Amino acid sequence: MSLQTTAVPNFTSTRNACKLCSPLGACLVLRGIEGCIPLIHGSQGCSTYIRRYGISHFREPIDIASSNFVESTAIFGGKDNLFTALDNVSRSYKPAAIGVTSTCLSETIGEDVPMYLRQYEIDRAKGLRNNGGQNPAIFYASTPSYRGTHMDGFHEAVFAAVSKLVDGEKITRTESKGRINLVSGFISAEDLRELQTILGSFTTDYTLLPDYSESLDGPSWETYQKLPQGGTKPEDIKKMGEAAGTVYFGIAPGHDAGKWLEETWGVPLFRQDLPIGIENCDPFYKTLSKLSGKEIPEIWNRQRGRLIDAYIDGHKYVNSKRAIIYGEEDFVASLASFLDEIGIVPVIAATGADSQGFKKRIQGVLRNTRQEVQIADDADFVTILEMAKDLRPDFIMGHSKGLFLSRELGIPLVRCGFPIHDRIGGQRILHLGYKGTLNLFDLVCNAIMEAKQDQHDKGYTYI
């Protein structure tokens, strides 16, 4: 049976969704803060599903606590469960912080979690809680699954951590020359390591948030670590108010830590798309140079040159090829820009998010194409497949859920983004910076070449 059904326009239902739910995004951010444990306020299934999903991509332990609602909790409210959960997590993990996220369940029954947490903190201060003497910081992100996608949860959790931890006096900008905030968006662990290297080449004073490069892609351990090492240090988050500027990759659909830092603490905000492709990378390195007051180190010039060289070497393979891209809005916008600059037409650019600005955003980054491009927000995979039928795409770029698109259309899928659960090393894919772009460029070229080679019989081994 083929999934290519007769098109029924404007579907109400979502068929093979192209988005995940909000608490998942929040949990990833929380796992990227040192010593922080996520706690989902809702049914234990949420925690189990989200752990299961994250684990299938990262192949690492992902501990996420839950307040374990049962039917009576759903009826009578979850405060006691939440308090018990906070106690147990505090005692057993001795965490530096607990990030609480809501669910559709707790939001539907109207739980006032901020109020609960204030009360918990008061009780705790009074010594009324059985918390083993542990007093982790507690952030709260409101992340009902029925509002937005995992990216809403992601940005919301960033905001929760920043707005909770940043303190201190407002400072004058000149004092802070050199300190850089980077809000990294939803990227791979390898991307985070590359960002560390890039940032480190400009300054040692930076806050990269979140940073799950070690906590979700760590080494094997000789002895088990209950809370994996790594993550943005809470004390570095605290310092974000003092920075010379915040580079913020992507757009926060709800609360925006970048804007908040600018408005509340006067930290200038430099928002840009994820640095994939020359057009998105050049401004990034330039901003870092500006904020740090340091010239762009030679290594990035060399990488940039090698990338251009590859663009030129490979342009004959990619030029005029047609791609389908999908995924998070921020990711798709960056991919679209990258593909456009190497001469590929993203004939479909789709996101599962319900986003009014998406179409204009994508159109804005397509500087070169002369062809029509289908841009769809609130899209699901069945819709994408239906759209793709007459567009003769050459390949697909996105996460593992595109496999069935790839099979139905008979074209290769270049796996990137999240989730990647049918290959190993998804967390180690480098997408960002000149080097990451080169990696994606090689993957795209080689997927196209392989498809071409596979169509030929003998006599076709140089391409």
Partner 1 sequence: MAEVYELPDTAEFKAEILERYPPKLAKKRAKQIIINKIENDDDVPEILANTRTIPGIITMRGCAYAGCKGVVLGPTRDILQITHGPIGCGFYSWLTRRNQTKPTTESDVNYMTYAMSTDLQEEEIIFGGEKKLRAAIDEAVALFHPRAIGIFATCPVGLIGDDVHAVARAMEEKYPDINIFGFSCEGYKGVSQSAGHHVANNKVFTDVVGLNDTFSKPGKFKFNILGEYNIGGDAFEIERIVADCGLSLHSTFSGNSTYDEFSSAHTVDLNVVMCHRSINYLAEMMEKKYGIPWFKVNFVGAEATSKSLRKIAQFYEDADLLKKTEEVIERELVEVEKVRLDVKSRCEGKTAVLYVGGSRAHHYQELLREIGITILSAGYEFAHRDDYEGRKVMPSIIVDADSRNIEELKVEADAVRYKPRLSEEKKASMEADGFAFSDYNGLMTEMPESSLVIDDCNHYELEELLDRYHPDLVCAGIKEKYVVQKRGIPMKQLHSYDYMGPFAGYKGAINFYKEIDRLLNCSAFKFTKAPWDESPELSATYAFN
Q: Which residues contact its own copies by CB under 8 A? A: 56, 59, 214, 217-221, 301-302, 304-314, 317, 400, 403-404, 421-425, 428, 438, 442, 445-446, 449-450, 453, 458, 461-463
391 touches partner 1 by CB under 8 A: no
Residue listed under structure tokens 């609480």: 100
21: partner contacted, choices its own copies, partner 1, none (Cβ within 5-8 A by kind)? partner 1
Element (H, E) at 415: strand 413-415
Site string for partner 1, 8-27 (x = CB under 8 A): x--xxxxxxx-xxxxxx---
CB of 43 to its own copies, least distance (A): 23
3-class secondary-structure state, position 371: coil
Q: How many CB atoms lie within 10 A of CB 59?
A: 15
119: partner contacted, choices partner 1, its own copies, none (Cβ within 5-8 A by kind)? none
Site string for partner 1, 239-258 (x = CB under 8 A): --------------------
428: partner contacted, choices partner 1, its own copies, none (Cβ within 5-8 A by kind)? its own copies
CA 202, chain centre distance (Å): 24
CB of 247 to its own copies, least distance (A): 24
69 touches partner 1 by CB under 8 A: yes
Separation CA 176–CA 265 (nearest Å) = 12
3-class secondary-structure state, position 212: coil
DSSP letters, 57-92, are HH-S----EE----HHHHHH-SHHHHHHHHHHHHHH
* Span from 65-73, 169-177, 181-189, 253-261 in contact with partner 1 (CB under 8 A): 65-73
Report residue 435 as tokens: 């080097």
Among 172, 174, 356, 461, binds partner 1 (CB under 8 A): 461
Beta carbon nearer to its own copies, 310 or 391: 310
| Plot region of 157 (φ>0 → left; ψ -120 to 50 → alpha; else → beta) | alpha
Compute the half-sphere exposure of residue 319: CA atoms within 13 Å on the CB side of its CA: 6
3 touches partner 1 by CB under 8 A: yes
146 touches partner 1 by CB under 8 A: yes
* Span from 87-95, 183-191, 252-260, 328-336 in contact with partner 1 (CB under 8 A): 87-95
In the region spanning residues 439 to 458, those forming contacts with partner 1, defined by CB under 8 A, are 458
Among 127, 204, 410, 459, binds partner 1 (CB under 8 A): 459
CB of 208 to partner 1, least distance (A): 23
Among 119, 135, 197, 319, binds partner 1 (CB under 8 A): 319
Task: Tell me: cis bond preceding 346? Omega within 30 of 0 counts.
Answer: no
332-362 b/e (C-beta count within 10 Å ≥ 16 → b): bbbbbbbbbbbbbbbbbbbbbbebeebeebb
462 touches partner 1 by CB under 8 A: yes
96: partner contacted, choices partner 1, its own copies, none (Cβ within 5-8 A by kind)? none
CB of 430 to partner 1, least distance (A): 20
368: partner contacted, choices its own copies, partner 1, none (Cβ within 5-8 A by kind)? partner 1
What does DSSP say about strands 245-249 and 322-326: parallel, antiparallel, or unpaired? unpaired
Report residue 27 as tokens: 């949990």
Among 30, 33, 36, 39, binds partner 1 (CB under 8 A): 39
* Span from 160-168, 184-192, 236-244, 337-345 in contact with partner 1 (CB under 8 A): 337-345
Separation CA 272–CA 261 (nearest Å) = 16
5 touches partner 1 by CB under 8 A: yes
Separation CA 131–CA 14 (nearest Å) = 43
343 touches partner 1 by CB under 8 A: yes
- Kindly report the three-state secondary structure assignment for every residue of 125-167: HCCCCCCCCCCCEEEEECCCCCCCCHHHHHHHHHHHHHHHHCC
Beta carbon nearer to partner 1, 262 or 273: 273
Short-list 140, 151, 150, CA closest to 107? 140
Among 59, 233, 238, 271, binds partner 1 (CB under 8 A): 59
DSSP letters, 294-317, are -PPPHHHHHHHHHHHHHHHHHHHH
Beta carbon nearer to its own copies, 306 or 367: 306
371: partner contacted, choices its own copies, partner 1, none (Cβ within 5-8 A by kind)? none
446: partner contacted, choices its own copies, partner 1, none (Cβ within 5-8 A by kind)? its own copies
